[in-house]
Amino acid sequence: MILKRVLPFSQELLTRVIEPGNSVVDATAGNGHDTVFLAELVGEKGHVYAFDVQVEAIQSTAEKLQQANLETRATLILDGHENVASYVETEIAAAIFNLGYLPGSNQEIVTKGASTIQAIEAILHKLKIGGIIVLVVYHGHPGGEDEKNSLMDYVRELPQSYVHVLSYQFLNQQNNPPFIIALEKMKAK
Ligand code: SAH
């Protein structure tokens, strides 16, 4: 199978861009899977800033990092990603967002269009030229369609000289499969 499912494709994009020593953002730590993946990519001298608004998510991310012996490479932040500028001062090479709710947890705690866009704006500002933001857009849950629509309206309006915006999605799958929006920064604003 040459065409990749959405998650392996998001990881491939991150792998291509992130170099040892980079600072990166996991905007939705969730179960910690991506935080660990990023911590491996940034190496000993790099750093991951991982955000989540739920204590359970921060705890399971901390456990996953400890199991992998990578806890020194990440800072876990119990706050909304829209406040990223208050925590991250360095240049960022890449960021990932897994939108929606955390499976197995409270389905009412979901990412929302306005704060997601605020976080993207702040990260774009700190992103290095050639850096990327990967959004994995889950939209089958209540509120998901609204978030997807606001996001699509927002990214379509980004000037192409500033950011390249691509989407990667299955066009013939049932039940609102997640899809990817990838942003690559082309120049300073
Ligand atoms: N839908 C994905 C998982 C998404 S997890 C899947 O099925 O794999 C999304 C995470 O974002 C949750 O853990 C939730 O607590 C977190 N979250 C919600 N709003 C947030 C915000 N403003 N800032 C940071 N994290 C947020």
CATH number where 101 lies = 3.40.50.150
Average pLDDT of the chain is: 97
Q: Output 91 or 3, whichever has higher pLDDT.
A: 91
pLDDT at position 1, please?
Answer: 81
Residues 6+ apart with CB under 8 A from 56: 102, 105
Determine which of 4-8, 41-45, 178-182 has the lowest per-residue pLDDT on average: 4-8
Ligand 1: does its nearest atom lie under 6 Å from the Cβ of 144?
A: no
Query: Which tokens hold the place of 82?
Result: 């829209």
**What spatial distance separates the first Cα and last Cα of the chain, rounded to whole Å?**
39
Residue nearest ligand 1's atom 18 by CA = 111
pLDDT above 90 (res 117): yes
Q: Residue 184 pairs with which residues in a beta bridge?
A: 132, 164
Ligand 1: does its nearest atom lie under 6 Å from the Cβ of 7?
A: no
d(CA 127, CA 147): 23
Is the CB of residue 115 less than 8 Å from the CB of residue 80?
A: yes
Query: Which residue range forms the structural domain that includes residue 8?
Result: 2-185
Residue nearest ligand 1's atom 22 by CA = 80
The one-letter amino acid at 141? H
Cα 57 to ligand 1 centroid, rounded to whole Å: 9
**pLDDT (average), residues 12-36:** 98
Instruction: Find where tokens 């400890």 sit.
Output: 66
Q: For the chain, what percent of residues have pLDDT higher than 70?
A: 100
Q: State the sign of the Cα–Cα–Cα–Cα dihedral 67, 33, 5, 95.
A: negative
Residues 6+ apart with CB under 8 A from 160: 186
CA-based nearest residue to 131, from 155, 176, 95? 95
Ligand 1: does its nearest atom lie under 6 Å from the Cβ of 115?
A: yes
d(CA 171, CA 166): 15
pLDDT at position 146, please?
Answer: 97
Q: Give, for ligand 1, the residue of 10, 75, 101 to mutate: max count of ligand atoms closer than 8 Å to Cβ.
A: 101
pLDDT above 90 (res 4): no
List helix spans (H) across the chain: 6-17, 33-42, 55-67, 113-126, 144-156
Q: Which pTM does this prediction carry? A: 0.97
**pLDDT (average), residues 143-158:** 98
Is the CB of residue 181 less than 8 Å from the CB of residue 137?
A: yes
d(CA 166, CA 33): 24
pLDDT above 90 (res 79): yes
Q: How many domains does the chain have?
A: 1
Ligand 1: does its nearest atom lie under 6 Å from the Cβ of 104?
A: no
**pLDDT (average), residues 116-142:** 97
**pLDDT (average), residues 7-30:** 97
